[in-house]
Structure 1
Amino acid sequence: MTSLDTSPTTAVGSRDYGELSQLIRQSGLLNRRYGYYAVKITLNVVAFVGGWVAFFQVGDSWWQLFLAVFFAVMFAQLSFIGHDAGHKQIFRNRRANDLVGFWHGSMVGLSYASWMSQHTRHHANPNHEDDDPDIHIRAIAFTTEQAEERRGFLRWMAKYQAVFFFPLLLLEGFSLHVSSVKALLNKDLRSRRWEMFLLVGHFVAYLTAVFLVLSPLTGVIFILVHQCLWGLYMGCSFAPGHKGMPTIPHGQTLDFLRRQVLTSRNVRGGVWVDFTLGALNYQVEHHLFPTMPRPNLRRAQPIVRAFCAAKDIEYSQCGWLRTYGYVLEHLHAVGAPLRLANR
C-alpha cells in the first residue's frame, strides 16, 4: 500500500467530477430501481424464512450444519441490502431507506446506526491514514507505521499477519456482533432504544431457536460454523475494494474524484460475481456514486473507466483471486520490517 502524493488543483478536480456526473445522470444510472429491489428483498426474505422452516423440520441432526452454511450466505445477502439502504440506493427518502436498513440489521444482529456512522466516515476518507476507520483495526496493521506501533502479542501478529488474515476473518461475524452491542452503550447513537429492542430480540430469538431444536454440542457447533463462515464471507466481500491500494497520508489532500478512484479496486467478473459480492466488486463506481442503485453499477463501469483513461487517472481492476493476492502481498510487506528486526 503506497502513499499518494500528487493531486491537481481543487478546481480542476471538481470540474472533472462534474463532467463525469453529468455523463452518469444523462445515462439515467442514478434513477431508482424499485422493481429490482422489490424482487431482491422478497426473494431474500422468502429464502431466509424458508431456511428457518427447514431448520425446525430437520430437528436435532448434524445435517443442520448444511443449513449453517446456508444461513451464512443469507446473512451476507441481507447485510448487502442493509448496505444499499444505508447509501439511499433503494429509495430517495432517507426514512424509507432507514426502515429497510434497521429491519435488515435486526435480521442479522447488527447495529445499523453504528455501522452507518463508521461507513460514512470511510466513504468520506477512503484509505486515509488518519481518518478512515476501516484501516484502523487492532488485529491488522495496514501501514508500516501502524505495525511499528504494535506491542506485545499484536506486534508478533503484525509480523505474520498475511498468514493470519483469512483465519482472522472467521472471527469477523462475532466482532460485528460485539461492536454492535458496544455501540448501544453510546447514548448519542441514533435510534438507540429502537436498536436495543431489535438487537435483543434478534439474539433471544436466534439462541432460543438454536438451543430449543439442537442439543448443546450441536447447537454450539452450528453457531460456530454459521457465524465464522458469515464473517469470512463478509470479510472476503469488503476487503478487495481498498486493502493493498494506496493510502492518503496526513496533510495530503486529493479532489473527490481522484480520492475515490485511486484508493479503490474493482473485481472483474460476471453476474455471479455481482451477486456473490453484492456488487461491491464495482468499488470505484460505488465510491464515486454511493447512491447509485446496485444493478446500475455494472452499466456505469465502462463509462467511468473510459473517463478515467481520458483524464489519465489510474483505474484499478483485477480478477477475484488476484485481488486477494494483492491484499496478502501488502500485509506481508507491512510486517517485513518487524521480521527483519529480529534477524
Structure 2
Amino acid sequence: MPQATAAAPVAEPVPDPAAGAGSAGSDFAPLLRVVREQGLLERRVAWYARGITVNALFLAAIVTGMILLGPSWWAVLLAVPLAVLSARMSFVGHDAGHAQITNDRAKGRIVQLVHANLLLGMSQEWWNDKHNRHHANPNHVDKDPDVKADVLVHTQRQTAGRTGLRAWLTRNQAWLFFPLTTLEGIALKVAGFQAVLSRRDNRMSTRQRVVEGTLLAVHVAAYLTLLLTTLSIGQAVVFLLVHQMLLGLHLGMAFAPNHKGMEMPDPETSASWGHLRRQVLTSRNIRGGALTDWFLGGLNYQIEHHLFPSMPRPHLRLAQPLVRAHCRSLGVSYTETGLIDSYRQALGHLHGVGEPLRADA
C-alpha cells in the first residue's frame, strides 16, 4: 500500500452556510440571521449524551439476552431490536459527521468513529466524503453520488446502454426498491472496507487507514464472536441475515423519501439557483409527530437539514416554521407530504425512469 502523507485529502464536514457562506444579499441570509438569533444552531450535547447512553444500555441488554438465552431460536428474535438499535446508532454517526453534536472536531470524530466503524462496521471517512458531495449538490446527476447510475438509475438518460440484468433491474426498479434495500446494511460495510483497503483511494492518510481499519476489524471480530459463541452455526447465519436485512430496510425507508422524485437540476440551473433554492427544491419533508421524528432520525426535516447541516436534530422541527414562512415569502416551493405518499412519489419516479426500457422490451 503506498504511503499517504499527512496532506492527503480527507473528508471534511460539509461546508455549512451557517459558518458564513450566506452572503448579505442572498435569499438565505435573512433566514440564517433569524435562525442564529433564536439559538437554533447552538449544540445540544446533553440531548445527544442521553440518547447515546440509552442506546448503549439497550445494546448491553440485547447482548446480555443473547448470552443468557444461549443457542435458542428465541435468541435469534433479538436480531429485530438490534436492527432498530443499529439504525439509531447510524443516525448518531450521521449527526456527528455533520458536527451537530459538538463544536469540538476531535470529540465529534471520536463519536463518529465509535458509531460508524466500531459499532456498525462502516468507514467514517468513506461515508463523510460521499455524503458531503451529496449535500453540496443534491440530486445533481453529475455531482451527487447518490443519484449516479448504479443498481438503480434516476433519470431516463441513465437508462441508455443498459442491457441484460441491468436492464431488467431498471425496468422493475420501483418494485425491487425495498427488497434491494435489505442489502444496504451489508453494502455499506463492503464499500467501507474497500475504501480503507484500496491502494488507489487517497482520501485517507496512513494513520486514518490504520485507525479505521483496526476499528472495522474489531467490529467484525466482536460481532462474529458474539454470534458464534452464543448461537449454533445455523442460528448465527439466520441472526446475521435478519439483523443486516432489517437494518438495510430501515435505512432505506429513512432515506428514500428525501430526494427521489424531486427536482434534478442540470449544471446551469444548479449554479443559478443559489444555496436556498438548491437545497429546498431538491428536498422533501415528511409530516408526522414524535414517532415519525424517531423512526426517520430527524431526516423527515430534510429541507431544514440541508439548509443547516450542523443544526442539532432536536432543533430541526423548531426551525421548520421559519423556513416554511421564508420560502413562502420568496415564492419558493416548499414540499411536505405524508410518509406513505412520499414512498408513492419516490417509487413513481423510479417507475417512470424505467419506462424507455419497458417500451423496448
TM-score, length of structure 2 as denominator length: 0.90
Distance 2:75 2:122 in 1: 23
Residue 269 of structure 1 corresponds to: 288
Distance 2:314 2:51 in 1: 11
- 1:251 shift after superposition: 3.4
Q: Does structure 1 retain, via aligned residues, the 8 Å contact 2:173–2:351?
A: yes
Residues 68-107 of structure 1: matches in 2 within 5 Å?
A: 68-105=79-116, 106-107=118-119
Rate the CA distance shift 1:13–1:268 in 2: closer, same or farther, 3 A: farther
1:15 partner SS: coil
Q: Does structure 2 retain, via aligned residues, the 8 Å contact 1:13–1:255?
A: no
Structure 1, unaligned runs of 5 or more: 1-10
Counterpart residue identity of residue 130, structure 1: D
- 1:137 shift after superposition: 4.7
Residue 184 of structure 2 corresponds to: 172
Structure 2, unaligned runs of 5 or more: 1-21
Distance 1:269 1:324 in 2: 14
Identical amino acids, percent of aligned pairs: 45
| Match among 216, 239, 252 for residue 199 of structure 1 | 216
Per-residue CA deviations over 1:203-236 (Å, capped at 9, x if unaligned) read 0110111011111111111100000000000111
Aligned length: 333
Counterpart residue identity of residue 23, structure 1: V
Question: Does the alignment pair 1:313 with 2:332?
Answer: yes
Residue 255 of structure 2 corresponds to: 238
Per-residue CA deviations over 1:219-267 (Å, capped at 9, x if unaligned) read 1111000000000001111111111111012433220100000000000
Q: Does structure 1 retain, via aligned residues, the 8 Å contact 2:23–2:29?
A: no
Question: Does the alignment pair 1:40 with 2:55?
Answer: no
Per-residue CA deviations over 1:63-99 (Å, capped at 9, x if unaligned) read 1232101110011000100000000001012111111
2:268 partner SS: coil
Distance 1:246 1:165 in 2: 20
Residue 121 of structure 1 corresponds to: 133
Per-residue CA deviations over 1:184-216 (Å, capped at 9, x if unaligned) read 123532511100000000001101110111111
2:130 partner SS: helix
Rate the CA distance shift 1:149–1:302 in 2: closer, same or farther, 3 A: farther
Greater Cα offset, 181-190 or 85-94: 181-190
Residue 317 of structure 2 corresponds to: 298
Rate the CA distance shift 1:311–1:205 in 2: closer, same or farther, 3 A: same
Counterpart residue identity of residue 327, structure 1: A
- 1:13 shift after superposition: 9.8
- 1:306 shift after superposition: 0.7
Distance 1:72 1:176 in 2: 14
- 1:150 shift after superposition: 2.0
| Match among 154, 168, 171 for residue 166 of structure 2 | 154
- 1:53 shift after superposition: 1.0
Distance 2:190 2:162 in 1: 23
Distance 2:188 2:290 in 1: 28
Greater Cα offset, 115-124 or 26-35: 26-35
